[in-house]
């Protein structure tokens, strides 16, 4: 019994299980020598053309580069550089469709050749014996060489294998039909390939080097035999033609009888496989100093006039290859990248040649027919007979169709090399490989998700632990110093005492105390969201409230002027009146603390914002606070309308002055507007609060925007945002029957008023106007349907109070609108809306 080595040297070959004999079709393209193409107009160079990470960009747009200049820099983690295939200018760096069945865009460098084809200075080596191991690895790495057989595995990783290599297998099999790229390369450049093999030999020191070539390539076999005559360690083996003997695992089996274990790689059994194209690139890089910038591509198929192999620069569009070889497309033309068995149909011919592209196949409709309809599996087991990996394709198919992924893994789906032999022999034309590919992607995704879920869980747990710890610490802080804590407590008791005494004086003791208690409870509940003096504020508010009640009611009749201050005052007054009404209705005093602060802020800000631009920030803060407050309040149904009203007014007034001075405030205004929109949307969800709420904010926004849009183009965006928010709000409001009327109507007005100013400047607003028009139409329809009941059961006072201000402001605007003809339409809309509103009021037996 001979040893394995002896057997191999004696010419023994083994067989892998299965395999098929598809028609060769190689004679189409293996007669003509490898051609040189004219320079294309542009080159698209994806940053990532291999397995692993892409390098970092080291060039920029507009830069002029020389042929062979590195465009990216490898940065560890299996990354490879790419190089300029010719000299020229980098015209763009953008995401372009990639050479992948999905054609998903991928970051690419677009190079426009200058036609000079000027090389960078090259460092040539004549004797590799003088180069160290690391120097050779670096040369291969920096030349950007990746496996050119199809997978694109970085060659420098393979060449730097730490494990002992018994057999170095050179893959010149090229078993896939049509493709002759390796065949022609071996015929024309056998010497260089052998030089490349010798570089690998020096790096890996294998016991034997086996070159596997299918016996349908006699020219290549003789060329290679001649080239490696001087090296006794290299054996050229002619192997029987059988698809897929070019598969890495199959070739190892045929040449060495060894089997790569399931889930393993050839290095596990002391074998390393390199493609002849890769070795040619290695010899070019080491001896001539040329990086990988071009490769042999077979352009073939019946629609190509001159099917042959060409030297294609990396990044050449497929279209350029086809056009240069005379491409006459047929109906429903398909262009396949790769061979007919394992390739994929390109979604576009504007896709670049990459380092792994070995064939462009442009078949006509007879040589590669559209796959027929999938029929039922007849369990003939032909697929299992041809499977080179001895899998059970039929079984896998059932599991893949049933999405039983763990079963698929049990049946070693991941050992499938996707050679397509099973699909090829299937009499029912079941696209078996497609099912496996989908299932593989699905399983991979699930695994990624599993990892992500695990990470999310860890983060969630960590956060929970942190929060618990924080809470514990807070608790400890309180309990540790009881003496210090006791004093404030005593003071608090005193304050409470005083408060209760004051309250007694006013004869409202119970209500106030109840309110205080509620406020306290609330404070405790949401953990110091409100400031500490809320009790005092509450107390003050309560006290002032009744006195103002009377005054406010008087004022509502008086205020008609357009002056800001008086408008605010009126608003405040109205709000109070309303609040009073509400308070008397409901015993809950929750709204009281919210209202007075707002009033105070408003008056204060009126004067302040006129002077100091810095206050924009303050205004923003206030706006945020109000938004928050309003949102909270609107959640409780019975206190909804009063508190929201004044803040809105206040903000409006404040912003009017503010926006005139500082462009930064546009942003603030935007924020406020959005906050309001959201608030309004929320409010309109609650039935009884909806009416009062939605109205004033809209008005406020309108007033604010009137001034704002006149100055700043950025505000167009703000206006748009508001419009959207309103549309949303309107949609929501109209869902609730009884709130539909009031909220929908005024916002539309407001938008109209706002847009009056806006449309003068910006054509984009036409779209907004259209949206408003639509909203109005919708509103009108809704109104017609709206039942009258809601007018009856809501208090007439608030309605009047809230609807009046918009009218005032609109009236004020009307002189201005006369200037612009477009405003006529808007004015008409306003008029209509007003008429409608009045009609409603009368209908609702309004006492006014």
Partner 1 sequence: MYALIALGSLALVFGLILGYAAVKYRVESSPIVEQVDAILPQTQCGQCGYPGCRPYAEAIANGDEINKCPPGGDATVKKLADLMGVDAKPLAGGEEAEPIKTVAYIREDECIGCTKCIQACPVDAIVGATRQMHTVIDDECTGCDLCVEPCPVDCIDMLPVEQTKQTWKWQINAIAVTQID
* Residue 426 annotated as lining a ligand binding site: yes
Tokens of 195: 């030089």
Q: Contact at 8 Å (CB) between 637 and 687?
A: yes
Between 619 and 783, name the residue whose CB sits nearer to partner 1: 619
Is 678 in contact with 725 (CB distance < 8 Å)? yes
Residue nearer to partner 1 on the CB measure, 185 or 669: 669
Q: Which residues bind partner 1 (CB under 8 A)?
A: 22-23, 25, 98, 100-102, 104, 106, 177, 334, 336, 340-341, 343-345, 363, 366-372, 420, 423-424, 429, 431, 433-435, 437-438, 441-442, 444-445, 448-449, 452-457, 459-460, 462-464, 620, 624, 627-628, 631, 667, 670-671, 674-675, 677-678, 725
Phi, psi of 214, deg, nearest 5 = -65, 145
Q: How far is the CB of 49 from partner 1 (least distance, A)?
A: 12
Residue 151 or 448 having the CB closest to partner 1: 448
Tell me the closest approach of the beta carbon of residue 7 to partner 1, in angstroms: 36
- Minimum distance between the CB of residue 336 and partner 1, rounded to whole angstroms? 6
Pick between residue 438 and residue 829 the one whose CB is nearest to partner 1.
Answer: 438
Q: Whose Cβ is closer to partner 1: residue 342's or residue 830's?
A: 342
Rank residues 453 and 831 by Cβ distance to partner 1 and give the closer one.
453
Which H helix or E strand runs over 155?
Answer: helix 155-159
Name which of 541, 545, 552 is nearest 577 in CA terms: 552
- Closest approach of partner 1 to the CB of residue 396, in Å: 15
Q: In the complex with partner 1, which residue's Cβ is closer, 511 or 667?
A: 667
Residue 525 or 547: the one with the smaller Cβ distance to partner 1 is 525
Smallest distance from the beta carbon of 50 to partner 1, in angstroms? 13
| DSSP count for the chain of H helices, then E strands | 28, 16
Q: Which of 742, 635, 655 is nearest to 696 (CA)?
A: 742
| Residues 6+ away with beta carbon under 8 Å from 800 | 846, 848
CB nearer partner 1, residue 652 or residue 718: 718
Cα–Cα distance, 738 to 792 (Å, whole number): 10
Min dist CB 620 to partner 1, Å, is 7
* Contact (CB, 8 A) for 357 and 337: yes
Specify the DSSP element, H or E, that contains 89: strand 88-97
CB of 103 to partner 1, least distance (A): 10
How far apart (Å, rounded) are the C-alpha atoms in residues 303 and 349? 14
CA atoms within 13 A on the CB side of 573: 17
At closest approach, how far in Å is the CB of 268 from partner 1? 25
What minimum distance in Å lies between the beta carbon of 404 and partner 1?
Answer: 10
Contacts with 95 (C-beta within 8 Å, 6 or more apart), sequence order:
105, 106, 107, 108
Which of 267, 51, 284, 50 is CA-nearest to residue 159?
A: 267
- Give the nearer residue to partner 1 in terms of CB position, either 463 or 832: 463
3-class DSSP state for residue 738? coil
Min. distance of Cβ 630 from partner 1 in angstroms? 10
Cα first-last separation, the chain: 117
CB of 164 to partner 1, least distance (A): 33
d(C-alpha 265, C-alpha 258), whole Å: 12
Residues ≥6 apart with Cβ < 8 Å to 61: 90, 91, 92, 93
Task: Report the nearest approach of partner 1 to the CB of residue 530 (Å).
Answer: 16
Contact 592/515 with Cβ under 8 angstroms? yes
Nearer to partner 1, 2 or 406 (CB): 406
Q: Cβ 390 to partner 1, closest distance in Å?
A: 20
Token pair 């670049």: residue: 352
In this structure, what are the phi and psi dihedrals at residue 308, rounded to the nearest 5 degrees?
-165, 180
- Concatenated DSSP letters of 437-497: HHHHHHHHHHHHHHHHHHHHHHHHHHHHHHHHHHHHHHHHHHHH-HHHHHHHHHHHHHHHH
Provide the Cα torsion 11, 16, 22, 25; round to 10°. Answer: -40
Q: Measure Cα distances from 203 to 50, 146, 161, 206, 808 in Å.
A: 22, 17, 9, 9, 89
Q: Which residues are CB-neighbours of 516 under 8 A, at least 6 positions away?
A: 496, 499, 535, 538, 539
Cα–Cα distance for residue pair 79/95, rounded to 1 Å: 19
Give the shortest CB-800-to-partner 1 separation in angstroms: 31
Q: Do 29 and 363 form a contact (C-beta atoms < 8 A)?
A: no
**What does DSSP assign to residue 325?**
T
Residue 577 exposure: Cα atoms within 13 Å on the Cβ side: 23
The annotation status of 422 as a binding-site residue, yes or no, is yes
Closer to partner 1 by Cβ: residue 331 or 370 = 370
d(CA 544, CA 528): 25
User: Least distance to partner 1 from the beta carbon of 340, Å?
Assistant: 6
Does 228 carry a binding-site annotation? no
Looking at beta carbons only, is 345 or 842 nearer to partner 1?
345
Q: Is 18 left (phi over 0), alpha (psi -120 to 50) or beta?
A: left
CA dihedral 213, 219, 224, 230 (to 10 degrees): 140
- C-alpha span between 194 and 173 (Å, rounded): 16
Could you tell me where the DSSP H helices lie in 736-817? Answer: 741-759, 765-785, 789-793, 796-817
Residues marked as binding?
377, 380, 383, 387, 416, 419, 422, 426
Residues marked as binding for [4Fe-4S] cluster?
377, 380, 383, 387, 416, 419, 422, 426
């Amino acid at each position: 019994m001979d040893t394995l080595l002896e057997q191999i040297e004696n010419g023994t070959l083994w067989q892998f299980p299965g395999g098929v004999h598809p028609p060769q079709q190689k004679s189409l393209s293996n007669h003509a020598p490898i051609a040189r193409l004219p320079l294309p107009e542009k080159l698209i160079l994806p940053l990532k053309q291999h397995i692993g990470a892409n390098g970092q960009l080291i060039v920029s747009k507009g830069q002029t580069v020389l042929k062979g200049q590195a465009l990216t820099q490898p940065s560890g983690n299996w990354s490879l550089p790419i190089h300029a295939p010719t000299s020229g200018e980098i015209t763009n760096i953008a995401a372009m469709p990639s050479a992948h069945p999905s054609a998903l865009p991928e970051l690419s460098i677009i190079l426009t050749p200058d036609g000079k084809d000027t090389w960078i200075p090259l460092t040539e080596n004549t004797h590799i014996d003088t180069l160290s191991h690391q120097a050779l690895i670096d040369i291969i790495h920096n030349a950007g060489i990746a496996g050119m057989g199809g997978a694109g595995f970085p060659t420098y990783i393979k060449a730097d294998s730490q494990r002992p290599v018994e057999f170095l297998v050179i893959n010149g099999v090229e078993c896939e039909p049509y493709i002759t790229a390796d065949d022609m390369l071996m015929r024309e450049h056998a010497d260089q390939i052998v030089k490349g093999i010798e570089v690998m030999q020096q790096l890996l020191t294998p016991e034997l080097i086996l070159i596997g070539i299918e016996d349908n390539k006699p020219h290549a076999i003789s060329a290679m035999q001649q080239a490696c005559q001087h090296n006794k360690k290299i054996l050229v083996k002619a192997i029987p033609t059988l698809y897929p003997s070019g598969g890495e695992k199959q070739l190892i089996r045929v040449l060495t009888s060894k089997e790569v274990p399931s889930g393993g790689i050839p290095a596990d059994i002391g074998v390393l496989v390199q493609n002849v194209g890769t070795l040619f690139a290695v010899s070019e890089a080491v001896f001539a100093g040329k990086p990988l910038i071009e490769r042999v591509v077979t352009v073939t198929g019946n629609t190509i006039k001159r099917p042959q192999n060409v030297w294609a620069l990396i990044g050449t569009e497929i279209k350029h290859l086809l056009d240069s070889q005379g491409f006459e497309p047929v109906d429903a033309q398909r262009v396949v990248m790769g061979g007919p068995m394992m390739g994929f149909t390109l979604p576009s011919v504007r896709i670049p040649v990459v380092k792994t592209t070995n064939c462009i196949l442009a078949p006509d409709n007879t040589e590669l027919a559209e796959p027929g309809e999938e029929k039922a599996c007849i369990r003939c087991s032909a697929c299992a007979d041809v499977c080179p990996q001895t899998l059970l394709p039929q079984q896998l198919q059932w599991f893949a169709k049933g999405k039983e992924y763990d079963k698929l893994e049990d049946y070693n789906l991941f050992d499938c090399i996707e050679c397509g032999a099973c699909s090829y022999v299937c009499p029912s034309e079941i696209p078996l490989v497609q099912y496996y590919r989908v299932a593989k992607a699905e399983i991979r995704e699930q695994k990624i998700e599993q990892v992500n879920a695990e990470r999310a869980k860890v983060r969630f747990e960590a956060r929970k632990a942190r929060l618990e710890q924080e809470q514990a610490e807070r608790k400890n802080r309180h309990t540790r110093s009881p003496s210090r804590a006791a004093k404030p407590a005593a003071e608090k008791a005193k304050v409470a005492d005083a408060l209760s005494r004051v309250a007694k004086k006013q004869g409202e003791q119970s209500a106030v105390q109840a309110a205080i208690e509620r406020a306290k409870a609330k404070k405790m509940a949401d953990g110091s969201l409100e400031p500490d003096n809320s009790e005092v504020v509450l107390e003050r508010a309560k006290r002032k409230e009744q006195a103002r009640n009377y005054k406010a009611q008087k004022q509502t009749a008086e205020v008609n002027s357009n002056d800001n201050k008086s408008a605010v005052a009126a608003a405040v007054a109205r709000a109070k009146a309303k609040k009073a009404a509400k308070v008397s209705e409901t015993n809950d005093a929750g709204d009281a603390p919210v209202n007075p602060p707002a009033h105070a802020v408003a008056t204060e800000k009126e004067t302040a914002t006129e002077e100091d631009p810095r206050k924009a920030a303050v205004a923003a803060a206030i706006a945020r606070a109000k938004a928050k407050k309003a949102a909270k309040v609107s959640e409780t149904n019975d206190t909804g309308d009063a508190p929201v009203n004044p803040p809105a007014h206040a903000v409006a007034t404040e912003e009017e002055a503010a926006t005139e001075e500082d462009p930064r405030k546009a942003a603030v205004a935007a924020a406020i507007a959005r906050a309001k929109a959201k608030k309004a949307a929320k409010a309109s969800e609650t039935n009884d609060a909806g009416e009062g709420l939605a109205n004033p904010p809209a008005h406020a926004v309108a007033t604010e925007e009137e001034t704002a849009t006149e100055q700043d183009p950025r505000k167009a965006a703000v206006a748009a945002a508001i419009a959207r928010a309103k549309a949303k709000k309107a949609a929501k409001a109209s869902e609730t029957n009884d709130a539909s009327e009031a909220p929908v109507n005024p916002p539309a007005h407001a938008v109209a008023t706002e847009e009056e100013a806006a449309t003068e400047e910006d054509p984009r607003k036409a779209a907004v106007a259209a949206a408003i028009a639509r909203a109005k139409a919708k509103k009108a329809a809704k109104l017609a349907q709206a039942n009258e009941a809601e007018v009856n059961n809501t208090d007439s006072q608030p309605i009047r109070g809230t609807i009046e201000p918009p009218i005032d402001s609109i009236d004020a605007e009307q002189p201005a609108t006369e200037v612009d003809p477009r405003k006529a339409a808007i004015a008409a809309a306003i008029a209509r809306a007003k008429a409608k509103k009045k009609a409603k009021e009368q209908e609702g037996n309004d006492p006014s």
